[in-house]
A and B are shown apart, each in its own frame.
Chain A
Amino acid sequence: MRYYLEFEKPIEELELKIEELRRISDGKDINLSSEVKKLEKKVKDLRTEIFSKLTPWQKTLLARHPDRPYTLDYIPLITEEFVELHGDRRYADDKAVVGGLASMGGNPVVIIGHQKGRGTKERIRRNFGQPHPEGYRKALRLMQLAEKFKRPVITFIDTPGAYPGLGAEERGQAEAIAVNLMEMSRLRVPIISVVIGEGGSGGALALSVGDRLYMLENAVYSVISPEGCAAILLRKEGDLSPEDFSKAADALRLTAGDLLGFRIIDDIIPEPTGGAHRSIEQTAKSISDKILEALEELRPKAPGKLVEERYKRLKRIGSFLGE
């Protein structure tokens, strides 16, 4: 069963109709193929139309779509080899962050990413993709391993944010995030990050400081969730409506297009019409092409130059008046 978002309902209707016609004509004399073809054309046009003008809130929902591919869905499609590694060597293995050694188009790399789960049990096991401090520390350990063996680091960003829990605070999640930001800014190997779904605030940033930052077309990246923003702005809780969230999502400018305009990201990676989950192979190919292209650009740079350029990239992100 495919999962449809509210704004996809007209598409769902047509697709169900097509399926039904196919079932009726299957094994029978009646030939409905011309009818099916007509409907298929119609659904394609409809999909193009709906997806060409998604609102920021609709994109947020699409970025959180339950069928949306996650880090571990992409890895087998973009690598020839992958050895998963676990644990932060301090406290635990955070299941919301995965990582390991991989080969991409013949390039040995280290891949790290947030990981959400599919299905209730797996979702809980992955803590809905919300890392604890151990997740950031595990990521940092793998990055330092990459640095030691001069391997580029690829990170996939897909998290609602850091986990707001007692244990996470007790074990210093602020410190863990801060250390990642600092260490990533001066890691002496290339770092390429792709926001594949939700870029949720500090929990996302802690894995995405690097030399290149890309976003999938329908991914979002924000300092606060539209829900959180709406709750603060409207100063009410519990009875917020989708319209409130939609307004907040507009105000936050969290889409790939907005952030490319601000020069906070470097490029947008296209998705198939209807979203990444409509063809994960196609999306994976686009991601892989982009990463390999960036690797080519970054590989010749000496570590010192790489770190210097990274600092300059970061330094220009700000918007203020005055000297």
Chain B
Amino acid sequence: MAWFKKTKDIKADKKVKIPEGLWVKCDSCREIIYRKEIDRNLKICPKCNYHFRISARERIKLLVDEGSFVEMDAGLSSDDPLDFRDKISYRDRMEENRVRSGLDEAALYGEATIEGHPVIVVIMDFSFMGGSMGSVVGEKVVRAAEAGIETRRPLITVASSGGARMQEGMFSLMQMARVSAAIGRLTDNGILYLSVLADPTFGGVTASFAMLGDIIIAEPRSLIGFAGPRVIEQTIKQQLPEDFQRAEFLLERGFIDTIVDRKDLKKTVSRIIELLA
């Protein structure tokens, strides 16, 4: 088998001119695939089963009953406490991201039903500033957890994030503590918390609410970790194993409960709710 893999890599290294938008290179196996084929297939690579990143809106369509999602506190926006600027100011960067992603922040939350079961869901979207967690994402997770306690509905989060948002400095770091404390309260109140990890989940999001689920489900081949692979490679000065930080790697080491295909996610979540909540 190793020989076949090698030829694949060589093929991928060759620079291929791809017409914009028509063809997509898989992030995982690097095969070139017809975009429509991926779209038809719930944005899953037909060659390696890698689950492409999808937007929060697409995720909602896949996960909850049609028309059942009611967004809560959509209007929250960051106040730029550090007055942060690099090449451009943080405020301008957020505006840029709003326009580009069509979202106000990197997460949205609300109530919904999954096969009839009432739930509270938090969905992250990587396309808004890399899904980073600042004050607003933190606040939404806290409010979602509190809503779960108040309404006695299970909380479901779908993570996809590069980690804490640098532009809000210590406010971002403290969100890790805030959301973890809120999740602790769910446990105190006997409310089910189910965490779904989508590609990629890293840093302060993994090291807070994402890893605290009563049940943790990951999508196939998604990258999940604390430190990014490049940072680790620089530190240990050696190449990382092929499946390092993939969902399958985490399953093998006992850190997640199961890996579920996107097309089966709704059904699986519903079944767990039936059995636990």
A positions within 8 Å CB-CB of B:
162-166, 168-175, 177-179, 181-186, 201-202, 205-206, 209, 221-224, 229, 232-234, 251-254, 259, 262, 264, 310-311, 314-315, 317-323
Contacts and interface: CB of A to CB of B under 8 A. Distances in A.
Contacts of A252: 82, 166, 169
Given A314-B177, A319-B135, A322-B75, A254 B169 contact: yes
A186 B177 CA distance: 11
A172 B255 contact: yes
Contacts of B11: none
B235 A165 contact: yes
Q: Which of A168, A221, A317, A323 has the most CB of B within 10 A?
A: A317
Given A183-B184, A315-B178, A320 B78 contact: yes
Of B78, B86, B181, B228, chain A has the most CB atoms within 10 Å of the CB of B181
21 contacts: A168-B227, A178-B176, A178-B180, A178-B207, A181-B177, A182-B183, A182-B212, A185-B177, A185-B184, A186-B181, A186-B188, A206-B207, A223-B164, A224-B164, A253-B170, A254-B170, A314-B178, A315-B181, A318-B171, A318-B178, A320-B76
Interface in B61-80: 73, 75-80
Contact of A169 (B176, B181, B227, B254): B227
Best-surrounded residue of A209, A318, A323 (most CB of chain B within 10 A):
A318
Most buried by B among A177, A254, A320, A323: A320
Contact of A264 (B170, B232, B240, B255): B170
Contact of B181 (A185, A262, A322): A185
B84 to A, nearest CB: 6
A224 B166 contact: yes
B166 A202 contact: no
A319 B170 contact: no
A163 B234 CA distance: 12
Given A183-B184, A252-B169, A262-B81, A174 B211 contact: yes
A205 B255 CA distance: 21
B139 A169 contact: no
B206 interface: yes
Contacts of A177: 176, 207-208, 226
B73 A181 contact: no
B79 A251 contact: no
Contacts of A315: 142, 178, 181
| Majority SS at the chain B contact face | helix
B147 interface: no
Interface of B: 73, 75-82, 84-87, 135-136, 138-139, 142, 164, 166, 168-178, 180-181, 183-185, 187-188, 203-204, 206-212, 225-228, 231-232, 235-236, 240, 244-245, 253-255
Given A170-B253, A179-B212, A182-B184, 8 more contacts: A164-B226, A164-B227, A184-B177, A186-B184, A205-B173, A251-B84, A317-B175, A321-B77
Nearest to B75: A322
A202 B176 contact: yes
Contacts of A321: 76-79
Contacts of B166: 223-224, 229, 232, 252
A169 B225 contact: yes
A203 to B, nearest CB: 9
Contacts of B169: 222-223, 252-254
A255 to B, nearest CB: 11
A178 B170 contact: no
A202 B203 contact: yes
A221 B89 CA distance: 22
Contacts of A323: 73, 75-76
A158 to B, nearest CB: 16
Contacts of B175: 317-318
B255 A175 contact: yes
A251 B232 contact: no
B166 to A, nearest CB: 5
B227 A259 contact: no
Contacts of B232: 164-166, 169
B226 A322 contact: no
B225 to A, nearest CB: 5
Nearest to B254: A172
B244 A166 contact: yes
Given A181-B177, A182-B183, A222-B170, A172 B227 contact: no
